[in-house]
Chain A
Amino acid sequence: MAARIHGGAGAGAATALSTFNPKKLVAPSRTNLPAARSSKRYIVAAAGSDASKKSLRVGHSQKLIANAAVATKADTSATTGTGHELLLFEALQEGLEEEMDRDPHVCVMGEDVGHYGGSYKVTKGLADKFGDLRVLDTPICENAFTGMGIGAAMTGLRPVIEGMNMGFLLLAFNQISNNCGMLHYTSGGQFTIPVVIRGPGGVGRQLGAEHSQRLESYFQSIPGIQMVACSTPYNAKGLMKAAIRSENPVILFEHVLLYNLKEKIPDEEYICNLEEAEMVRPGEHITILTYSRMRYHVMQAAKTLVNKGYDPEVIDIRSLKPFDLYMIGNSVKKTHRVLIVEECMRTGGIGASLTAAINENFHDYLDAPVMCLSSQDVPTPYAGTLEEWTVVQPAQIVTAVEQLCQ
């Protein structure tokens, strides 16, 4: 088999796209890269997953097995041909509808979720099916209706509170932090708050600064809540169901640009574990940790990287609070290099916390410093080209991996 990486060459040139310091030292590798790769280069694709269009084909004359760049379904339920195909927002709706059928205490409240069907159609049809008392159109008062949802949860209802855009939930920050997160603790365990707070966030297509916010970094310190981010129709439905069934308050982060992703999901009922990360693409050279929309940028970069001979392991961390340090730790022990790609701001983002957690727990296993690619610390500009530069692009990811694997 032909050696694909010529040790270290070609990785030195920092392109104009690179935004990080090329002088960063890369420690000598503990494992000999070419030897490690020799027998483990070919990764079998996940069975039966014909999900998003980004399947990876390694173009070489030799016989290769295609690496599927998409989710290997780490959970059970092998998808046979009897699944059904749908878009991500439909998957969310399916999950929500199944839970509302299953438990009469589940209700939805938010702006325009009822008669309008939801601004991203996640709650379409639910008002007709379940009535006005279970799918509630609220006036525009995030502080009050989030508070009301939490108050209702104290008595045993299970509201799903929708922020039309995650950024609007900043108005409800007091309720989310003080009441939602802390009531279970300050009441000595008397009250549980089984709410789900969900909504789309992230940088969209030129939506402007106030509508392109990433709130996971603001909420991550609140004790008592769990945060998950969905990225595919499969895990969107699974996480929605798990979040509704959880007795803890869960914040489910969706992304404005991912609502129209298409995937085939199983017909039978399934849930995704809230605290578990998802192995997207097993690999050997470097661990790339990501979530939400950046997963797709990473997989796009992975295409290029595999062409260049690298073998990245891509993990969608999914659980933003708490981190699945088990899966992450096992991966770090295997690859010894970590790159975090996220859409949060550099300052105080999820990546910053994850870097700290990895450094604290897995310092001895690291061959290189943990690198974190995040969005720029700027309000998201309107102009398209500028907006593109605020978030991490696949080319930057490729450069970073090349640097780390020097």
Chain B
Amino acid sequence: MSLSRLSSRSNLIPRPLSAAISRLISTDTTPITIETSLPFTAHLCDPPSRSVESSTQELLTFFRTMALMRRMEIAADSLYKAKLIRGFCHLYDGQEAVAIGMEAAITRKDAIITAYRDHCIFLGRGGSLYEVFAELMGRRDGCSRGKGGSMHFYKKDASFYGGHGIVGAQVPLGCGIAFAQKYDKEEAVTFAMYGDGAANQGQLFEALNISALWDLPSILVCENNHYGMGTAEWRAAKSPSYYKRGDYVPGLKVDGMDAFAVKQACKFAKEHALKNGPIILEMDTYRYHGHSMSDPGSTYRTRDEISGVRQERDPIERIKKLVLSHDIATEKELKDMEKEIRKEVDDAIAKAKDCPMPEPSELFTNVYVKGFGTESFGPDRKEVKAALP
């Protein structure tokens, strides 16, 4: 599949991208089969096959979106150092394959809920760069109107339930969403994501127990980046095989730096959960940054380790190699794509910087649902009753 053949196709669907990119992201859905880098390790179930169905379009989309995510996180890093982003900022670079692979396997009706490392998942669910940066900088047009911050990104219409600061608390919420999906008889599943640090929370096992008892379509995804802030996994967990910790619940261990392995695993998990109830997926992944922007990330691990992973297992490099080896694009075109992405991110940042802060009156909006008369009344209030539906 040479590039010249691609460029001469006349049935390219026009897309609102620059000419350089539209030449590459074609409607070409020629299937490609890709082998995952490692086999799956399974617990109480049969692992799926290592061969993943994909297409050139999907490969390029993977590359583009992951490069966008990577660029966004690096830009957030600089913004934080420039003190435009305050508070906590947890960056996802290195783990993009998990977000991308999961999106490729599911629909927008399936729900995702995650912890505070949520920027890229939000983007994957359809959020825009502008909303991300506006929210990070606390501006009015942020996805949570500037009132949530880095740890509270939500997108209801895309079934993205956030964005939670307290470690582990999102897992019972996720099982509750799965319960609602079963209650309303939607044929959808919920991916409740958490980290290796949260895997030791009691409420996780409580929620897993209920999910297994009630056969809820919940999929617990442990993004194991091997460090719970500064504590390595072997220092925090007696049994670091998080996919086995469900005991009676089946589990699958996946190479989280391989987007196709993630895609295959999520597809498998969705089918399983709809029929048999909960399943645990452990994504073996890595984060290049520290836990958050206040953590240099090098006091508990060596720089050699970080650069080693970056050289050998980087998810974007893997896709890049696949794209080049399948002759879908040239090195230069990919570089152009990256330049274009850089510009897109910079534009979004510039636009977000221009966005004003929220109005002071926004302090009191959305505390309660409007119309229920729940403001505190002064003594001379005229209206006595609030009408209930």
The residues of A with any CB-CB pair to B shorter than 8 Å are: 107, 133, 136, 138-139, 141, 143-157, 174-175, 178-179, 183-192, 223-224, 226, 242, 245-248, 271, 273-276, 322-326, 329-330, 332-333, 357, 361-362
Contact = CB atoms under 8 A, between A and B. Distances in A.
Point out which of B172, B183, B365, B373 has the most chain A C-beta atoms below 10 A from its C-beta.
B172
B180 to A, nearest CB: 4
Contacts of A179: 164, 169, 173
Contact of B172 (A151, A187, A247): A151
Interface in B332-389: 365-369, 372-381, 384-386, 388-389
Contacts of B389: 245
B378 A361 contact: yes
Interface string B169-186: 101111111011111100
A151 B372 contact: no
A139 B376 contact: no
A247 B369 contact: yes
Nearest to A75: B385
B123 to A, nearest CB: 17
Contacts of A147: 169, 171-173, 175-176, 203, 207
Contacts of B209: 139, 141, 144
A158 B149 CA distance: 27
B344 to A, nearest CB: 24
Contact of A152 (B152, B183, B372): B183
Given A155-B180, A174-B166, A192-B369, A187 B156 contact: yes
A148 B207 contact: yes
Nearest to A178: B166
A143 B203 contact: yes
B176 to A, nearest CB: 3
Contact of B144 (A148, A187, A192): A187
Interface string B146-168: 11110010111000011111100
Contact of A143 (B202, B367, B374): B202
A361 B236 CA distance: 52
A157 B183 contact: yes
A223 B173 contact: no
Contact of A151 (B163, B165, B180): B180
A366 to B, nearest CB: 12
A138 B175 CA distance: 13
Given A144-B210, A186-B147, A188-B143, A152 B384 contact: no
B17 interface: no
